[in-house]
């Protein structure tokens, strides 16, 4: 099979490798959700190590660095992976024995792979350390301002990331920055593409995580480069037994059958900690985990556990309420508190679950705001799952979108965002219409 998803993915990896070995100074890999970004980084790193190179890797968070270190340690063993960290970092309990930890780059000089956050790399002196090729993970989460502080350490860069994720953010007043300065908060990948327009861009064409039902929706709503699912329709299944006489059962049935469920509570304006939404999410998670659910994929069937389920929210205070409701709802099944992940979109980036329950960012609001409309936020929530996603929200989101004024400031010379949050929200909502279940 030369045109199957695995072959397409393999071709993309080989293209990346040939650009690197062909001497391209910069290569950008655009990876939609679950498209094998980490696998690609691991594969490229292993090949580079095999060729005798020392490979520095730049991540954005300590969690990402730890995850990547564990994955790469297994791939390059017995070669050592150096995990460079700050002074107040605590290493994970289940650290691989082949990972060496230190706060000083000099201690790790003998490791063929060196992994650290961008913030830590910024404190590595270019006088003492220099690398031929650096690998940037999550290059669309990294800001240009973070890249400027590390780029001098490297002669060439491979930048890998998901262009649909949340963009870099600043607490500074955007108006002040933009009136006085060239906007310094472009993404690292965007910076490289702007200054080095010859940079080859390799899109990873296949999402291994998202099922076909989700890949088409997410690709259409949030991405300019289309991608598809690696699994065929019907290859995966979510099996569950629910009482369909109420909306919770109905929406879970819809999600199991179609990959999407939209539980629509009656229209109301509510504070963002909307107690009915909190309760509904708690109930859905409780029903789901109490439904004897199992997931089926070509590797076989296995029961759905609490660790396979996540709830995505927009605000931290929502997270506190939902956590309490979910924990209470699943306690009767003997599931300990905290077993189901509940987190904000921000912190769910890069994560993967079997089933995700997403609290729609616009639910219950009187008016949409730019923050709540950000395409990356909804995209993260809608693209964490392997089987199904249940979106929970108040009716009236379409009306909010229709009433959203087009009054964003326009700065001369600034690039128009490739994906417009308003349009992405409209597309996403219209694609979910068939899965709508009124509560």
Per DSSP, the three-state class of 92 is: coil
Number of residues that bind another protein (CB under 8 A): 68
Contact yes or no for 255/388 (Cβ under 8 A): yes
Cβ 179 to another protein shortest distance, Å: 6
Give the length of the chain. 439
Considering the rule CB under 8 A, would residue 123 count as an interface residue with another protein? yes
Provide CB contacts within 8 A for 18, sequence distance 6+. Answer: none
Considering the rule CB under 8 A, would residue 26 count as an interface residue with another protein? yes
**C-beta closer to another protein: residue 107 or 411:** 411
Considering the rule CB under 8 A, would residue 343 count as an interface residue with another protein? no
Chain position carrying tokens 């008016």: 367
Cβ 122 to another protein shortest distance, Å: 4
Provide CB contacts within 8 A for 163, sequence distance 6+. Answer: 30, 140, 189, 223, 224, 225, 418
Considering the rule CB under 8 A, would residue 86 count as an interface residue with another protein? no
Chain position carrying tokens 């205070």: 317
Per-residue binder mask for another protein (CB under 8 A), 174-213, x = binder? -xxxxxxxxxxx--x--xx--xx-----------------
Edge-to-edge, what's the strand order for the sheet holding 300-303? 237-239, 294-297, 300-303
Candidates 46, 268, 296, 339: give the one binding another protein (CB under 8 A): 268
Candidates 287, 365, 384, 387: give the one binding another protein (CB under 8 A): 365
Considering the rule CB under 8 A, would residue 215 count as an interface residue with another protein? no
Distances (CA, A) of 201 to 12, 30, 31, 197: 10, 7, 10, 10
**C-beta closer to another protein: residue 1 or 412:** 412
Per-residue binder mask for another protein (CB under 8 A), 278-317, x = binder? -x-------------------------------------x
Candidates 328, 366, 370, 438: give the one binding another protein (CB under 8 A): 366
Secondary structure in 3-state letters for 372-412: HHCHHHHHHHHCCEEEEEEEEEECCHHHHHHCCCCCCCCCC
Question: Which residues between 372 and 431 bind another protein (CB under 8 A)?
Answer: 399, 402-413, 416, 420, 422-423, 426
DSSP readout, 312-332? EESSHHHHHHHHHHHHHHHHT
Cβ 276 to another protein shortest distance, Å: 5
DSSP readout, 120-160? HHTTS-TTT--EEEEEEESTTTSBHHHHHTTGGGEEEEEEE
Provide CB contacts within 8 A for 172, sequence distance 6+. Answer: none
Question: Which residues between 143 and 162 bind another protein (CB under 8 A)?
Answer: 144-145, 147-149, 151-152, 157
Chain residues binding another protein by CB under 8 A are: 25-26, 122-123, 126, 144-145, 147-149, 151-152, 157, 170-173, 175-185, 188, 191-192, 195-196, 268-271, 273-276, 279, 317, 320, 323-324, 364-367, 399, 402-413, 416, 420, 422-423, 426
């Amino acid at each position: 099979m030369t045109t199957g998803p695995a072959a397409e993915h393999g071709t993309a990896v080989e293209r990346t490798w040939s650009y690197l070995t062909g001497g391209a100074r910069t290569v950008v890999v655009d990876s939609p959700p679950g498209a094998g970004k980490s696998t690609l980084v691991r594969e490229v790193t292993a090949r580079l190590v095999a060729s005798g190179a020392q490979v520095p890797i730049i991540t954005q968070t300590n969690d990402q660095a730890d995850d990547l270190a564990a994955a790469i340690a297994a791939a390059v063993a017995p070669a050592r992976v150096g995990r460079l960290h700050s002074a107040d970092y605590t290493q994970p309990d289940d650290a691989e024995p082949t990972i060496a930890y230190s706060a000083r780059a000099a201690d790790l000089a003998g490791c063929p792979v060196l992994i650290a956050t961008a913030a830590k790399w910024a404190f590595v002196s270019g006088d003492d350390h220099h690398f031929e090729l650096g690998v940037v993970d999550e290059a669309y989460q990294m800001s240009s301002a973070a890249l400027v502080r590390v780029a001098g350490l490297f002669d060439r860069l491979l930048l890998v990331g998901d262009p649909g994720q949340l963009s870099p953010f600043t607490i500074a007043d955007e108006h002040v920055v933009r009136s006085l300065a060239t906007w310094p908060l472009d993404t690292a990948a965007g910076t490289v593409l702007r200054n080095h327009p010859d940079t080859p861009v390799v899109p990873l064409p296949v999402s291994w995580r998202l099922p076909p039902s989700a890949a088409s929706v997410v690709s259409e709503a949030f991405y300019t480069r289309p991608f598809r699912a690696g699994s065929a329709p019907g290859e995966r299944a979510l099996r569950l037994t629910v009482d369909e006489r109420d909306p919770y059962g109905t929406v879970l049935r819809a999600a199991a059958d179609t990959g999407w469920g939209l539980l629509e509570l009656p229209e109301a304006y509510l504070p963002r900690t909307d107690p009915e939404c909190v309760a509904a999410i708690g109930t859905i998670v409780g029903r789901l985990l109490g439904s004897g659910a199992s997931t089926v994929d070509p590797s076989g069937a296995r029961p759905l556990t609490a660790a396979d389920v996540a709830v995505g929210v927009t605000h931290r205070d929502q997270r506190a309420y939902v956590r309490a409701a979910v924990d209470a709802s699943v306690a009767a099944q003997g599931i300990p508190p905290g077993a189901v992940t509940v987190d904000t979109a921000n912190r769910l980036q890069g994560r993967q679950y079997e089933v995700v329950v997403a609290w729609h960012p616009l639910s219950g609001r009187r008016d949409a705001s730019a923050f709540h409309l950000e395409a990356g936020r909804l995209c993260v929530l809608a693209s964490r799952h392997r089987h199904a996603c249940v979106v929970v929200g108040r009716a009236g989101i379409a009306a909010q979108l229709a009433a959203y004024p087009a009054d964003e400031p326009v700065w001369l010379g600034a690039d128009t965002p490739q994906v417009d949050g308003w349009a992405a929200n409209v597309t996403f909502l219209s694609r979910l219409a068939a899965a709508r279940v009124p509560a």
